[in-house]
A and B are shown apart, each in its own frame.
Chain A
């Protein structure tokens, strides 16, 4: 417990809270976006908004890979899984994400074989064990999971595994942040930068936020005190008229990222011209596809993929939540028709999704309970 107390000391939280408050300019409203769903989770779990003055609002960003995958890609996956002889694998998080005709479990009830795996490498094992089947790994995730898919592709090539391919849905965080900065819907004062994505990409890719948009960003850890300290650093930058990239999470995130991981991604994947994000629409150069050199492992080339664009259900407002325009509880179906057990939208499926985090911690409204214990 000694270790953990260091990050969760309620006295320290109150001290940071006071420092943050002292930096607020009277009459000014501040809006910071936490990009990563893991941060959203910490904020709700520990009621961090209650430690902030009322003129600071935290806006939840698109950093939940399950949340931003558009319905059409789920339908495309099921289309591939229905081909004769195909065995599909994907992460457990994906199984309950609804497509227009149901999720992967529903699809399996109708005869497809979509299996959960922990790691893309497990898919290779499934391929070795099922030489008569073609195994398609449905890959999703930001730069935290893309290197794993890349390493798996390299392994498949080295071993000459023929009955394996990847349906690549990897996305990259920087173009999404840029799309949000360019969106007229939202005026932000700064960003709480993602933690684990940054272990791969490092801090340099965020420099454009400071340079071109004049806004501060602080890469942050996941503990309550990390996030409060990051907000303090953002406020300090604003107060001093600075816009810089700072690394609050340097105990894990190296400034240059993980160069081996970046190298294997670049070796096996390239940017797509554009990709659809739920809520954010089509964003240029925001996703990865398999490079031509590895075309024989590209499920999109191997199978006919309909690529049909499917609109979200009318009742679902995940798009507005993902853009930070709407708070989860402001969605019409939040907690009624849409719950973690029967999700309509993706933000309720993943534990990193803003709606699931809100729902699970019962923070339906913002109340100021300053005396609440942090843990």
Chain B
């Protein structure tokens, strides 16, 4: 929960600019980007996601490294991805 998971922004929702569709390890879900209001977020950007909220923008290298780190954690990360899959942020 304390560890951010990296996601790639696919699109910012036009009717809800506080939400973005992201791809996390192939799971595509909406997350909230309201906490990045001081930064521009767009398709192709990578963000670190904590419990459904993007907390920081990161570069692709950092995203890949963070992903490897999380995959190394094993079950806890799988649980997190499963939870994300079930999540439906509106």
B58: A residues at CB distance < 8 A? 251-252
A252: B residues at CB distance < 8 A? 48, 56, 58, 62
A36: B residues at CB distance < 8 A? 2
Partner among B4, B37, B52, B80 whose Cβ is within 8 Å of the Cβ of A121: B52
Would B34 and A260 count as touching, CB distance under 8 A?
Answer: yes
Looking at the assembled complex, report how far the CB atom of B38 sits from the nearest CB atom of chain A, in whole angstroms. Answer: 6
Partner among B65, B80, B90 whose Cβ is within 8 Å of the Cβ of A4: B65
Would A118 and B56 count as touching, CB distance under 8 A?
Answer: no
Would B50 and A196 count as touching, CB distance under 8 A?
Answer: yes
DSSP majority for the A interface? helix
B37: A residues at CB distance < 8 A? 260
Looking at the assembled complex, report how far the CB atom of A7 sits from the nearest CB atom of chain B, in whole angstroms. Answer: 5
Per-residue interface assignment for chain A, residues 40 to 56, with 1 indicating a CB less than 8 Å from any chain B CB and 0 otherwise: 01100100000000000
Interface-central residue, B1, B50, B53, B58, by most chain A CB under 10 Å? B1
B69: A residues at CB distance < 8 A? 42, 222-223
Looking at the assembled complex, report how far the CB atom of A148 sits from the nearest CB atom of chain B, in whole angstroms. Answer: 5
For A, the interface residue count at a CB cutoff of 8 angstroms equals 53
CA of A118 to CA of B59 in the docked complex: distance in angstroms? 24
Would B51 and A4 count as touching, CB distance under 8 A?
Answer: no
Interface-side segment among A22-30, A137-145, A315-323: A137-145
Partner among A7, A38, A148, A264 whose Cβ is within 8 Å of the Cβ of B51: A148
Would A121 and B84 count as touching, CB distance under 8 A?
Answer: no
CA of A91 to CA of B76 in the docked complex: distance in angstroms? 12
B10: A residues at CB distance < 8 A? none
CA of A37 to CA of B60 in the docked complex: distance in angstroms? 24
Per-residue interface assignment for chain A, residues 11 to 33, with 1 indicating a CB less than 8 Å from any chain B CB and 0 otherwise: 00000000000000000000000
Looking at the assembled complex, report how far the CB atom of A257 sits from the nearest CB atom of chain B, in whole angstroms. Answer: 10
Would B87 and A117 count as touching, CB distance under 8 A?
Answer: yes
CA of A66 to CA of B79 in the docked complex: distance in angstroms? 16
Would A118 and B52 count as touching, CB distance under 8 A?
Answer: yes
Chain A, range 114-151, C-beta contacts under 8 Å to B: 116-122, 124-125, 140-142, 144-145, 147-148, 151
Looking at the assembled complex, report how far the CB atom of B90 sits from the nearest CB atom of chain A, in whole angstroms. Answer: 6
Interface membership of A65, Cβ < 8 A: yes
Given contacts A118-B87, A142-B2, A144-B4, contact A200 B55 (CB under 8 A): yes
Interface membership of A258, Cβ < 8 A: yes
Task: List 18 A-B pairs, Cβ < 8 Å.
Answer: A6-B61, A37-B2, A93-B76, A118-B84, A119-B52, A121-B90, A141-B1, A145-B2, A148-B52, A196-B3, A196-B55, A222-B3, A223-B69, A252-B58, A258-B55, A350-B76, A351-B75, A360-B74
Residues of chain A touching chain B, judged by Cβ–Cβ distance below 8 Å, are 3-4, 6-7, 36-38, 41-42, 45, 63-66, 91-93, 116-122, 124-125, 140-142, 144-145, 147-148, 151, 196-197, 199-200, 222-223, 251-254, 258-261, 264, 350-352, 360
